[in-house]
Amino acid sequence: MIKKYRYVLKLVDPFGISRITRTEEVRIYIQLDGGWGEAAPVSYYGEDEFTVHEALEALEKADLGDLDLVEQIMDHAETVIVKNRAAKAALNMALYDRFSKNLGLPLWKFFGRAPTKPLVTSFTIGIDSLDVMLEKTDRAANYDILKIKLGRDVEHDIAVMREIRKRVGEKKILRVDANAGWTLDEARRIIPVLADLGVEYIEQPLPMGAIEELRRLKKECPLPIFLDEDIHTSRDIPPVVGAADGINIKLMKSGGLTEARRMVATARACGLQIMLGCMIESSLGITAAAHLAPSVDHIDLDAHLLIANDPFVGVETKPSGELILPTEPGLGVRVQENAFRQFEQLT
């Protein structure tokens, strides 16, 4: 029996990327035999709360069998519902939470890797007017790494990055995410400027599917290129070898941790670097992903820091952005009582 709940996440600030600006997000939470899961439907992939609900109902009708057999259940889920990765991610999270609780281990231990260096997440500055972005940058002064959203207008992007670098000084690590917002010519124009400003890497500079242009860009690009919108599951990885330096894994794209771990293995086999990202997710989804953080190169798990009414408590986040993995069995998340009272149970 999968218990399903609807909850509206309110964002601290309006959050803008190249395509859209949002102030709140509907999330579906599930409980399955003691395990918790979160679905953050992605409108870009045609998902919303209703598609998630339908997919979960279809999964419920299918016989999932022995709930310990997580990989087998996920194979079965692939045959029951097509795509619907947010719903699959919620199912997978709940199965792993339940399984590792029963095992008596935090999930990262079952996965077999402890952090060998501090797990520091970037903190994201959404797209806005120059003044608002600078004000957000000032408020984020405590974070060691900032990720700046660009990609609506290349002239604005250049002005923003020059001002932000002035504001934060030389030492702060800056990353950039264009969210598929530049043409090849625009990327060629801005990237040398970003390199001069000491940006660490750029994420998804070109539109989805522009792999040949990416190959050309990569040959002349002084900065590492990571792909996000172009990469959903492990099968998307081999075709981008030579077109990028790394990939961005997110549970809501992969359909959960099982496939995310396959992506880690595939990226390593292909000689690519890995960043671990998120959609707008509460501490539940963020903590689930954090259990994989010891296996990746760069961490971008900050969405819980952008939410004003996070219903879960999970991974501890220090003011610098350092994540401290839970030590209790399972995912190590618990629902906040006052938020749980606002959960709308779905039937």
Known catalytic membership, residue 203 = yes
Q: Token pair for residue 78?
A: 């692939």
Residue entry with tokens 């998630």: 52
Using CB under 5 A, which of the segments 54-62, 107-115, 225-233, 304-312 binds Mg ion? 225-233
The distance of closest approach from Cβ of residue 234 to Mg ion in the complex, given in angstroms and rounded to an integer, is 18
- Which is nearer to Mg ion, 38 or 230 (by Cβ)? 230
Using CB under 5 A, which of the segments 116-124, 176-184, 254-262, 267-275 binds Mg ion? 176-184
The distance of closest approach from Cβ of residue 275 to Mg ion in the complex, given in angstroms and rounded to an integer, is 9
Using CB under 5 A, which of the segments 69-77, 79-87, 181-189, 201-209 binds Mg ion? 201-209
Residue 334, CA distances (Å) to 128, 135, 252 in order: 34, 33, 20
Residue 177 binds Mg ion, judged by CB under 5 A: yes
Report residue 230 CA to chain centroid gap: 14
CA dihedral (290, 29, 319, 278) in degrees, to 10, reads: 50
Choose which of 38, 47, 228, 230 interacts with Mg ion (CB under 5 A). 228
Report residue 146 CA to chain centroid gap: 15
Residue 281 binds Mg ion, judged by CB under 5 A: no
d(Cα 40, Cα 17) in Å, to the nearest integer?
Answer: 17
Known catalytic membership, residue 228 = yes
The sign one gets for the Cα dihedral 18, 20, 21, 22 is: negative
Within a 10 A sphere around the Cβ of 138, how many other Cβ atoms? Answer: 11
Known catalytic membership, residue 3 = no
Residue 302 binds Mg ion, judged by CB under 5 A: no
- Which is nearer to Mg ion, 31 or 124 (by Cβ)? 124
Closest CA to 106 of 290, 258, 249, 256: 290
Q: Token pair for residue 84?
A: 């619907």
Q: Which residue is nearest to Mg ion (CB)?
A: 228
Q: Token pair for residue 234?
A: 């492990």
232-251 footprint of Mg ion as x/- string (CB under 5 A): --------------------
Q: Which of 38, 186, 203, 281 is catalytic?
A: 203
Catalytically active residues, by annotation? 149, 177, 203, 228, 250
For binding to Mg ion (CB under 5 A), which residues are involved? 177, 203, 228
